[in-house]
Amino acid sequence: MSTARPSPRVAALAAVAVVLVACGNVGVSPSAPASATRARSAPEVEATESASPSASPHPFAGEDAWIAYQTNRGRESIWLIHPDGTDDHEVGLAVPGEHHHPDWSPDGNQLVISSYAAAEELYAVDVATEEARVLWQCSAPCVGDDEAAWSPDGSRIVFVRAMEPFVNDAPSCALMIGDPVTGGVEQVGETRSCYDRETFPHWSRDGSRVVYYRGVFEGERATGSAVYVFDLATGQETKLTDDALVGGDADWSADDEWIVFSTYPLRDFCCEVSNLYRIRPDGSELEQLTTHETAAERATQPRVTPDGQWIVFTGVNADGRLPMLMPADGGEPIAVAPSGIYTHPAWQPGP
């Protein structure tokens, strides 16, 4: 079963009739689009370690990196937790509205988050001082910015912009790149309906390409999706997977040799079997990393840790939507927290 997809959500235009079906989106984006310490490398843990977060000692005990994530404790908000499940706390309290989709600056000092308030804007939040600032203005024809990711050198942020014109009650969307220092913004992808936009773009580690997925829709119903790579120098888009595989959220390995992705992305499909796969950036050597067989357990929203050793992802099961860690080439997952709502996890880079 699929969910309807509003294009990055536009609070300022909420009166526009874009109907949302909330199935499968508790604690995640509504289908539209303390002091912090620096990260250490992830510990070398055998893939056979227990997945129980109550194991003693926890495989990540003492790891002082943060995992940023989105949750819905009273409202959509961004929190930090250590990989061993300790020091769980909210950040971004100075940012108005609901908070979505965290991503780290490459030095690990800031988060870029989406603010859903009177307008939908992107904020940079200093995790040590809690200082927050709007990255750039969204003025007409812009109606909302969302799904941002910081470039590996820190000089650019890729994101999705919703804009006029509206067609069949849905805004148009385009892939954009902004400068977090000057506030300058440029469009790099073509303008299209927000239903089949570039969804959750992430940078290659060399900064030359972006990976994302596109949904396939019949009206407001998602029927498939596929993973794509966009070359920023040439403007060429390469489709890596067939729509029938229903490839979704994607990220790059540390050496840019692999792209890790999930099937049946959580924002668009509420009740399907989701597994993690990896594939070469040219579309070859597809490999399955997890083997869930029913929708009772799902592996979604993968991000590769900065050192490339682990995949942090959202594991869906009877206990909730949990941050999980798995060796980058596959293996037994390790739960960070025992229960609750933790989505869009991202591991803090080191200095």
User: What does the pLDDT read at residue 57?
Assistant: 84
pLDDT > 60? residue 30: no
Give 296-299's long-range contacts (Cβ < 8 A, gap of 24+).
298/264, 298/266, 298/272, 298/273, 298/274, 299/262, 299/274, 299/275, 299/324, 299/333
Pull the structure tokens for residue 233: 């120098």
Domain-embedded: residue 2:
no
- Per-residue confidence at 248, pLDDT binned at 50, 70, 90? very high
Q: What is the DSSP string of 49-97?
A: S---TT-SS-TTTT----EEEEE-SSS-EEEEE-TTS-S-EEE-TTS-S
pLDDT > 80? residue 146: yes
Calculate ∠ Cα 344-346-349, nearest 5°: 165
Closest CA to 263 of 281, 244, 282, 280: 244
Query: What is the DSSP-derived secondary structure letter of residue 40?
Result: P
- Per-residue confidence at 100, pLDDT binned at 50, 70, 90? very high
Pull the structure tokens for residue 81: 């937790």
User: Rounded to an integer, what distance in angstroms lies between the CA atom of residue 252 and that of residue 201?
Assistant: 11
How many residues comprise the chain?
351
User: What does the pLDDT read at residue 320?
Assistant: 96
pLDDT > 50? residue 16: no
Summary mean pLDDT of the chain: 87
- Per-residue confidence at 155, pLDDT binned at 50, 70, 90? very high
- State residue 260 phi and psi, 5-degree precision: -95, 135
Domain-embedded: residue 5:
no
Domain-embedded: residue 39:
yes
User: What does the pLDDT read at residue 103?
Assistant: 98
User: What does the pLDDT read at residue 7?
Assistant: 40
pLDDT > 60? residue 234: yes
Give residue 264's domain range: 11-347
What tens digit of pLDDT does each residue of 322-337 get? 999 999 999 999 999 9
The total number of structural domains in the chain stands at: 1
- Per-residue confidence at 44, pLDDT binned at 50, 70, 90? very low
User: What does the pLDDT read at residue 109?
Assistant: 98
User: What does the pLDDT read at residue 5?
Assistant: 52
User: Rounded to an integer, what distance in angstroms lies between the CA atom of residue 265 and that of residue 263?
Assistant: 6
User: Rounded to an integer, what distance in angstroms lies between the CA atom of residue 68 and that of residue 66?
Assistant: 6
Domain-embedded: residue 329:
yes
Domain-embedded: residue 264:
yes
pLDDT above 90 as % of the chain: 79
- Per-residue confidence at 8, pLDDT binned at 50, 70, 90? low
- State residue 145 phi and psi, 5-degree precision: -120, 145
Given a contact cutoff of 8 angstroms between Cβ atoms, the answer to whether 112 and 157 are in contact is yes
Domain-embedded: residue 1:
no
User: Rounded to an integer, what distance in angstroms lies between the CA atom of residue 141 and that of residue 118?
Assistant: 16
User: Rounded to an integer, what distance in angstroms lies between the CA atom of residue 140 and that of residue 144?
Assistant: 10
Closest CA to 60 of 70, 75, 50, 71: 50
Domain-embedded: residue 241:
yes
Calculate ∠ Cα 5-274-344, nearest 5°: 60
> What is the domain-level CATH number for residue 29?
2.120.10.30
What tens digit of pLDDT does each residue of 263-283 get? 999 999 988 999 999 999 999
Domain-embedded: residue 214:
yes
User: What does the pLDDT read at residue 52?
Assistant: 45
Query: What is the DSSP-derived secondary structure letter of residue 196?
Result: G
pLDDT > 70? residue 220: yes
pLDDT > 60? residue 228: yes
- Per-residue confidence at 28, pLDDT binned at 50, 70, 90? very low
pLDDT > 60? residue 254: yes
